[in-house]
Structure 1
C-alpha cells in the first residue's frame, strides 16, 4: 500500500459529478485509488466529500493535522453538528497510514453503543470502504471488525476492558476519546490512565473531543496542550418559560400537539426527565395522534433513548396527503446522539433530569430529580439549527450548573476499584482522575472487595480478585458465579447473571391488558423466589426456540415478554460461558428443579450477595435491611408481590437491587434461611453489622451457647463462608481499608 499525501484532495469537477459511471465501472486510466483499500473511488465518495467539506471542522483540518504531528495530546472543542466525530477519526487514520501503521491503528470511543455503530456505518460510507473491514466497531456483545480494520469505533467501557490484556493499548497509534463532556465513569478512567500511558509510549497520540466548558477543565488538568476550537453553528430561536413550571411533563406534551396543529414542517425533539417519562409520553402521544384530523398529517412518536437500537422510521408521504411528522422522545442522556438533525425544526426541553445517585453509606441508589447542566442546555439548543425553535420550559435566568457532574462521583465505584487494582498488576501507575472519587465511596468499595475476599492482607488483589476481574460482571455477581463452580450450579447461575445483566424481560402491557399480563407472568413464578423465576423464563424461552409450530417472537408476545431483552440475555450467557471456559473454570451440567440444586443456588447467591439481606419484621412485608437499618417493600413485579395475599411472604430474603425512592422497593427477591446466611457470610462482616433485633436472632443461631467472646479472636472463615474460594484466616473485627 503506497503512501499518500494527506493534504492532497481530489478535484471535484462538474464532469466528474455528472458522469461518474465510467470511473465507477473501472474505465479510464487515470482513476484515483482509495488509499485504504487500493480500489478506485466510487461516485458516491465524491458526492459525500462535497458534503463533508461544508462541515465547520474542515476549516481547521490543516491546524489539526499539524497539531497531531507535533503533540502527543490534542483537545478539539466543538458541538456535535460540527462533524468532529466523523472527520477527525478519518484524518487520524490517514496519519497512521502515513507511518505504515508502525505504531498501531485508530480507535474512537463513544459513550453510547448505538452511536458507535451509526458513526462506524457513516464513516465507512464516507471512506468508501466496507463496514467490518477497514472501518469497524465493537460494542458489548457485538464486534464487527477484521484484521484489515484501521479505524474502529467502540464504547468507552469496551476499550477499558481491552486494557485487561493490553494495558498500554499498544495496538493503537491514535486513541480518540469522544464525548468527554458526558463524564461517564469509563471515559474519566481512560482520561486518567492515558496520562501515564503517554509517558510510557512517546509515539502514541491521544485526541480528546469535547465541548466547552469541559475543554477548559481538560486544559487545566493536562497543562500546555493545543486546543482547537470549532466554529459553532447558530443556535435556534430560543423561547423560555419564565414561570416556575412544576407540570413540565404535560406542558411538553401540550406543546407537541400545538406545534403539530400549526402545520409547520419539521420533526420535533422532546427531552424528558427519565426513560419512564419518555415511554409514558410515547403512549399518550400515540393515543392523541389517532384523534387528530387527517388534514394535519400523521404524527409518529419515536422513543430514542440511549441503549435502544433500531432504525428510525422514515416519514411517509402519500399522494394527496400531508407528510407525517416524527416526534423524537429522549431523556437526559440523549443530547449528543447521532440525530437526524436535517429534519428537526423544533426542540422542547423540560430542563430536568432524573438521576440515580449512589449512597455508599447504605449501599443503594437514590432517585434524584434535578436541573440539567448548562452544557446539556446548550447542546439541545443546537439541534434544530438556525431556522428552528427551541422551547425551554424553565426560566431564562435559571441557575444551571456549568458542566455535567462526573458519574464517578455519583456511582458505586466498587467495579472501578477492582479494575484499577487489576491494572496495577500490569505496571500502570495511579489513575490521574480529573475529579477524584469521594473518599467515603472509595473506602466503601475497598471494604466491599475485602468482604468478597478479593483483596489480600496487603490490600492487593487476591487470586479470587484476579479471577473476579476477568469476569465482565459486577464484583458481587462475579463472586456468586465463582462460588457456583464449587456448588455444581454453574449453569443455573450463568442464567441468573445473564438475565439480571440484560434489560428487564417483562413488557409493560397495553392499556386494559394488565390482568392478562399478570396471569401470563404468574405461570413462570417459582416458589423459591424471583431468581428462580428468571431461570424458568429463560428455559421456557429456549424451549420456544426449539419448537417448530411457532416463533420465539410470537411466544414472547403471547406471554408479554421482551424478545430483544431475552436475546440479549442469551448473548450475555454465551459470553460468560466463553469467559469461564477461557479461564478454565468447571461448568456443571444443569440440574434445575432438584432440592440439592435449589439449596446450592442459594448458597452461591449468598456468597456474593450476603450484604443484601432483609427480614420481614412484622409479617406484613415491611423488610428491615440489616446493613443500614432501612425499611423496604418487595417490588410489585416480584412474584412475592403478586402472590403475597395468597402465599404469604418469606421472613428472610436476599435481594439483587434496592433503590431509595418514594416506595423504597427491593427488586429480584428470593427466600433464604438465616442458617445458610450465617454459613455463607464472612464472620467479620456479620460482626460489623449495626445492632438490631434481626442481628440478635442471627447471633443466637451462630452462637447458641453464648460463647461468642471466647471465639472472637480465633474465628476463621470457612471454605463455605468464602463461596468455596481460597480461604484466609481473619478475626471477626477485621475490616482493614488499605
Structure 2
C-alpha cells in the first residue's frame, strides 16, 4: 500500500486542497487516485463536516472501488464506506466515504441543490466525459460560488485535459501524480485485419503458446463479440496438446455481467495457469485487473450516437481515440514490463485516431438532462446558456425541448409543469416517468410499474449464460402466456412478470424459461422502489396489486397502452400505406422497421397496426424500432395536433421563426386521416398559414 505514488504526494494534495475550492488532479494509471484520495481527505478531517462523495461514470466501478476501500480500512461495506447506484443504496448514517454514480448524485441534488450533506465532491474518471459528469461540472462551478469555504471539489482523471478544465474553473490549480507504470512495448500490425475478432484470437493463442507467464487482456467492442471470442478461445485452448503450454482460464468482463461473475476476474489464477480476460472498454480505467502483462487492442469501441434531426440512436462500432489507446496500453504495465499488441498499423494511430473521445453530451438525447436542469428551479440557471465544458449543439437542446413539450413536462413557453416536476423525481428516462404519471390516472399503475421495471433491466433478462445469441433469439423465453401478447413487446414484458408473480417469484421458473435469475430479482426490487417513489409523488397509496384475469386483465392492457402513448408521444410511428415500414411522426426521417425480435403481430392481411409506440429507435445498420406496442389512432390525434402547433423557438425563449423549421416540425399524414389532420398534399397551405401566424405575431410586437 505504501508504494502507491499518490501517497507520496499526500502533503502537497492536502496543502493545495486547503487553499483552493477546486483542484484538478491528473493521476496516471496505477497512481491509486480512485481508492486513496478519499482516504487521504478522510484522514485529514474532511469527513468531519460532511460526507466525502466520489462519483464514478459506471455502476460496476462504484461498487468495486467501494468494496476495495472498505477492505483497506477494515470496515463493513455499507457502514463507514458505502456506495449508492441506481436502485441500490448501501450506505448508513455512519457513512463517511460514499462512492456513487454521477447520475445518483444528480438525483440527490434535486432534493438538496446545494448538496449540504457533502463536504467534498470528487468527480473521478472525468476523462470519460459522461453526460452526467459534464452536467455535474457545470453545477459544481455554480456551487463553489454559493457555498461557504468548507466545500471542496476535486476533478480527477488519468488522461483529462487538465488545462482545459482548469480554465473552466477559473484557472484552478492542476496537480499531476505520476503512475506506478512499468515500460510497455507497443507492437503494431503491418496492416488492418479483415476481422479484429479473428485477429484477436490468433494473437492471444500466439502469446499463450510462446510468451512467458502473465495474464492477457483483450479489448473487444461489446457483449456479443466477447461471447464469440470466449467460446472460440475455450475451444482452441482445449484442443492444445497437453503439456505444450500452461493452462488458461478464459473470463468475460462487461457491464451487464452479474456481479458474482465479474468478481471472478479479480481472483488470481492457480499455479501454472494464465488468465485470458476478454473485456469491453470498462477495463480501460473503471476497473483494474492486477496481473495483466499482455494487452490486445482491437482499436474499436461500441458507441451510441444520437441524431436529433432523426430522433434516432445508432449503435456504431467506431475507432477509439488516442487517449483510449494509451489507457489500454497502460493496463499492461501495472505488474511488470508488458506488451501491447495493437491490431492496426502505427499510421492509423498517428493519423486517423481522434486525440480524445467525443463527449457523451454531444452524442446523446438531452431530454433527461434538460428536465433535470429545469426542475432545479434555480433563478441563476438558464438552460440554453448553461455553462458546459463542451456545449451541446442548439439542435440537440431544441430536440430535448420538443420531447419534453410533447409529454407535458414543459408548457408552450418552455416553463416546467407540475407533471414535469414529479417526473424528475423518478430515476427513469422522461418517457417512462410520464407513462407512470398517466398510468396512475388510468388506474393501471400496477401494470406500468412492472413494464418500467422490466425495461430498466431488459438487457440482463433474456441473456441466460451458456446460450448463444442465435439460441436466445430463437427460443421464446416464456411459454403459455395469456392472450394479448400480439399487442406488442411492452405487453409481453408485463406478462412475463405477471407469470413470475403468479409462481410466487419462483427461481426455478426463471431458469426453466431462460431468464436470468439475478435480472428478474433486480426487476422485482426496482418495481418495489418505483412503487415507493410513486406513492410519495401521488401522496397516497397506490393500487399496485397484480391484476386478475379475463376482461379486467385486457382492460388493464388497453389503459397501459394509452399511458404509453402519452409517455412516448415523441416516439410514435405510423405505418406506410402499402407495406409494414413505419414513418416517425414529427420527423422527416427514413422509413424504419419493427425489430425482428418483436412479438408484435400482423393482421390477417399481414399488416402491422397503423400506429405504434416504441421504446428506442436504433440503426444497426438498418433503422429499427425496439420494444414496440400498438396504439389506437384516437389516442394519437391530440399529439398530432400538438405537433402541428409546436414552435420550438418559443419553447426555448426565441422569437425568430422560419418556414423551413415549420415544415420540418409538421408531419405528413396519409389521406385516410383527413378528418383529423391535413393531408400531405396541402403542405404548402399549412406552411402559408404558419407564415401568416408568424407575421401576425410579429405585427403585434
TM-score band by shorter chain is 0.7 to 0.9
Query: What residue is the counterpart of 1:698 in the other structure?
Result: 673
Query: What residue is the counterpart of 1:82 in the other structure?
Result: 31
Pairing 1:592-631 to 2, within 5 Å after superposition = 594=551, 595-617=554-576, 620-628=579-587, 629-631=589-591
SS of the residue corresponding to residue 142 of structure 2 reads helix
SS of the residue corresponding to residue 600 of structure 2 reads helix
* 1:133 matches 2:94: no
CA contact (8 A) 1:96 1:105 kept: no
Query: What residue is the counterpart of 2:659 in the other structure?
Result: none
Q: Larger deviation: 647-656 or 70-79?
A: 647-656
SS of the residue corresponding to residue 109 of structure 1 reads strand
Structure 1 counterpart of 2:426, from 455, 465, 471: 471
Q: Structure 1 residue 523: deviation in Å?
A: 3.8
Query: What residue is the counterpart of 2:354 in the other structure?
Result: 401
SS of the residue corresponding to residue 163 of structure 1 reads helix
For residues 577 and 165 of structure 1, the distance between their equivalents in structure 2, rounded to whole angstroms, comes to: 19
For residues 200 and 577 of structure 2, the distance between their equivalents in structure 1, rounded to whole angstroms, comes to: 44
* 1:274 matches 2:234: no
* 1:241 matches 2:200: no
Query: What residue is the counterpart of 2:368 in the other structure?
Result: 415
* 1:514 matches 2:471: yes
Pairing 1:125-204 to 2, within 5 Å after superposition = 125-201=71-147, 202-204=149-151
For residues 190-239 of structure 1, the C-alpha deviation after alignment (integer angstroms, 9 at most, x for no partner) is 11110110011122111111133421221222233221111132341110
Query: What residue is the counterpart of 2:166 in the other structure?
Result: 219
SS of the residue corresponding to residue 223 of structure 1 reads coil
SS of the residue corresponding to residue 384 of structure 1 reads helix
Query: What residue is the counterpart of 1:256 in the other structure?
Result: 204
SS of the residue corresponding to residue 639 of structure 1 reads coil
* 1:64 matches 2:13: yes
Query: What residue is the counterpart of 1:45 in the other structure?
Result: none
SS of the residue corresponding to residue 83 of structure 2 reads strand
For residues 14 and 571 of structure 2, the distance between their equivalents in structure 1, rounded to whole angstroms, comes to: 53
For residues 461-509 of structure 1, the C-alpha deviation after alignment (integer angstroms, 9 at most, x for no partner) is 1111111111211111111111111111110011111111113322267
Q: Quick check: which has more Rg, 1 or 2?
A: 1
Q: Structure 1 residue 561: deviation in Å?
A: 1.6
For residues 36 and 559 of structure 2, the distance between their equivalents in structure 1, rounded to whole angstroms, comes to: 54
SS of the residue corresponding to residue 614 of structure 2 reads strand
Q: Structure 1 residue 690: deviation in Å?
A: 6.1
Q: Structure 1 residue 73: deviation in Å?
A: 1.1
Query: What residue is the counterpart of 1:484 in the other structure?
Result: 439
* 1:557 matches 2:511: yes
Query: What residue is the counterpart of 2:339 in the other structure?
Result: 389
Pairing 1:318-467 to 2, within 5 Å after superposition = 323-341=272-290, 343-385=291-333, 386-397=336-347, 398=349, 399=351, 400-425=353-378, 431-467=386-422
For residues 151-194 of structure 1, the C-alpha deviation after alignment (integer angstroms, 9 at most, x for no partner) is 11111111111101111111111111100101001111111110
SS of the residue corresponding to residue 636 of structure 2 reads helix
For residues 289 and 668 of structure 2, the distance between their equivalents in structure 1, rounded to whole angstroms, comes to: 58
* 1:73 matches 2:25: no
SS of the residue corresponding to residue 368 of structure 2 reads helix
For residues 465 and 602 of structure 1, the distance between their equivalents in structure 2, rounded to whole angstroms, comes to: 21
Q: Structure 1 residue 251: deviation in Å?
A: 0.4
SS of the residue corresponding to residue 478 of structure 1 reads helix
Q: Structure 1 residue 68: deviation in Å?
A: 1.2
Q: Larger deviation: 691-700 or 139-148?
A: 691-700
For residues 292 and 126 of structure 2, the distance between their equivalents in structure 1, rounded to whole angstroms, comes to: 25
For residues 507-536 of structure 1, the C-alpha deviation after alignment (integer angstroms, 9 at most, x for no partner) is 267359839952554544712211111011
* 1:287 matches 2:247: no
Q: Larger deviation: 232-241 or 401-410?
A: 232-241
SS of the residue corresponding to residue 662 of structure 1 reads coil
Q: Structure 1 residue 709: deviation in Å?
A: 14
Q: Structure 1 residue 618: deviation in Å?
A: 5.4
Structure 1 counterpart of 2:177, from 230, 243, 262: 230
For residues 460 and 65 of structure 1, the distance between their equivalents in structure 2, rounded to whole angstroms, comes to: 43
Query: What residue is the counterpart of 1:683 in the other structure?
Result: 641
* 1:572 matches 2:529: no
Evaluate the alpha carbon distance shift between residue 515 and residue 576 of structure 1 in structure 2; reply closer, same or farther with a 3 A threshold. closer
Evaluate the alpha carbon distance shift between residue 709 and residue 184 of structure 1 in structure 2; reply closer, same or farther with a 3 A threshold. closer
Query: What residue is the counterpart of 1:637 in the other structure?
Result: 597
Q: Structure 1 residue 703: deviation in Å?
A: 8.4
Pairing 1:638-653 to 2, within 5 Å after superposition = 638-640=598-600, 649-653=608-612
* 1:312 matches 2:264: yes
Name the count of aligned residue pairs.
Answer: 652
TM-score (norm 1): 0.82
Query: What residue is the counterpart of 1:655 in the other structure?
Result: 614
CA contact (8 A) 1:235 1:381 kept: no
CA contact (8 A) 2:362 2:393 kept: yes
Evaluate the alpha carbon distance shift between residue 489 and residue 620 of structure 1 in structure 2; reply closer, same or farther with a 3 A threshold. same
Query: What residue is the counterpart of 1:124 in the other structure?
Result: 70
SS of the residue corresponding to residue 283 of structure 2 reads coil
For residues 575 and 426 of structure 1, the distance between their equivalents in structure 2, rounded to whole angstroms, comes to: 31
